[in-house]
């Protein structure tokens, strides 16, 4: 079950790079939290509970691999660091650049973007809503294959700016 949750969470994070481009966001440390997670129409606990358990089970090597990819688990979710250059660019790398994922914005207004994504083990669509330069939300639904068979999933994600200082969280290259 934890693999399914992590697979769904990673699929959702994959969709966020497009979301972050809609308006100028603040550079610095961002925390992404999830809620309303469902797999095959069954509600799941919020990812913050699962991440707490998962953090305790990660080996130092697994933790180092995530940090090498620019992802740190902390607080209530996943933390990422965005540089000023990344915020100004058209591609803010909240995903692993070697993931094989592609995103496409299908409709945009000033504070909302609709998008679709395709990854080797996940595909779907979503809506990003920009509340300010320090907060945005996404709603993502699609299918994923984290455990060897296709499943439907959906979740909401909230991204909140924590401050300019990223501390030990390294930006993605």
Alpha-carbon dihedral angle through residues 156, 138, 4, 161, given to the nearest 10 degrees: -90
- The whole-number pLDDT of residue 108 equals 83
Backbone angles phi, psi at 5, to 5 degrees: -65, -45
- 114: its two tokens: 């609709």
Q: How confident is the model at residue 8 (pLDDT cuts 50, 70, 90)?
A: very low
Q: Residue 124: pLDDT above 90? A: yes
Query: Degrees (nearest 5) of the Cα angle 82, 120, 75?
Result: 35
The 10s digit of each residue's pLDDT in 147-163 is 788 999 999 999 999 99
Tell me how far apart the alpha carbons of residues 33 and 47 are, in angstroms, rounded to a whole number.
7
Tell me how far apart the alpha carbons of residues 169 and 80 are, in angstroms, rounded to a whole number.
7
Q: Please state at what angle helix 47-57 crosses helix 2-14, rounded to 10 degrees.
A: 110
The 10s digit of each residue's pLDDT in 142-151 is 999 877 889 9
The answer to whether 62 touches 71, Cβ cutoff 8 Å, is: no
The 10s digit of each residue's pLDDT in 70-87 is 566 666 778 888 888 888
């Amino acid at each position: 079950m934890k693999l399914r949750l992590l697979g769904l969470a990673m699929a959702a994070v994959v969709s966020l790079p497009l979301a972050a481009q809609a308006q100028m966001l603040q550079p610095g440390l961002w925390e992404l939290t999830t809620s309303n997670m469902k797999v095959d129409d069954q509600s799941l606990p919020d990812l913050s509970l699962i991440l707490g358990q998962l953090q305790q089970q990660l080996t130092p090597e697994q933790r180092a691999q995530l940090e090498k990819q620019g992802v740190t688990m902390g607080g209530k979710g996943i933390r990422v660091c965005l540089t000023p250059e990344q915020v100004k660019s058209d591609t803010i790398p909240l995903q692993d650049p070697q993931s094989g994922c592609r995103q496409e914005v299908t409709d945009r207004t000033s504070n909302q973007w609709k998008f679709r994504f395709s990854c080797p083990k996940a595909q779907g669509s979503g809506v990003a809503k920009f509340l300010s330069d320090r907060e945005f939300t996404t709603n993502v639904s699609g299918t994923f294959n984290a455990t060897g068979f296709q499943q439907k999933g959906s979740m909401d994600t909230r991204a909140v700016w924590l401050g300019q200082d990223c501390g030990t969280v390294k930006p993605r290259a």
